Amino acid sequence: MLVLSRKKNESIVIGDGPDQITMVVVEIRGDKVRLGIEAPKEVPVHRREVYDAIKRSGGQRRATGTDTEPSTEINES
């Protein structure tokens, strides 16, 4: 596992070319970090618990797309 330290507004780039994924630290609040993820539409992006639920369901739900719309605020309580 690669472990990196990043500050607010700093990013990490994964891959190169059309399949490139960029992760940006959007906000740090207490012990929570909000990440922005830019990825091609054909690359599924899910929170781990959503990904695990998709896998447990036996593939009844397609494991593509994202589990939230871009820029959607998530209740962090």
Residue-level pLDDT at 65: 53
User: How many domains is the chain built from?
Assistant: 1
Residue 20 lies in a domain: yes
Q: Which domain holds residue 34?
A: 11-56
Residue-level pLDDT at 67: 55
Residue 71 lies in a domain: no
Residue 31 lies in a domain: yes
What is this structure's pTM? 0.69
Closest CA to 10 of 36, 31, 32, 47: 36
Using CA atoms, how far apart are residues 33 and 35, in angstroms rounded to an integer? 6
Residue 15 lies in a domain: yes
Taking 50 as the pLDDT cut, the residues of the chain under it are: 63, 69-77
Residue 52 lies in a domain: yes
Residue 39 lies in a domain: yes
CA torsion sign for 59, 65, 69, 71 is positive
Using CA atoms, how far apart are residues 13 and 67, in angstroms rounded to an integer? 21
Q: In b/e form, how buried is each residue of 28-53, taking b as 16+ CB within 10 angstroms? A: eeeeeeeeeeebeeeeebbeeebeee
Residue-level pLDDT at 40: 96
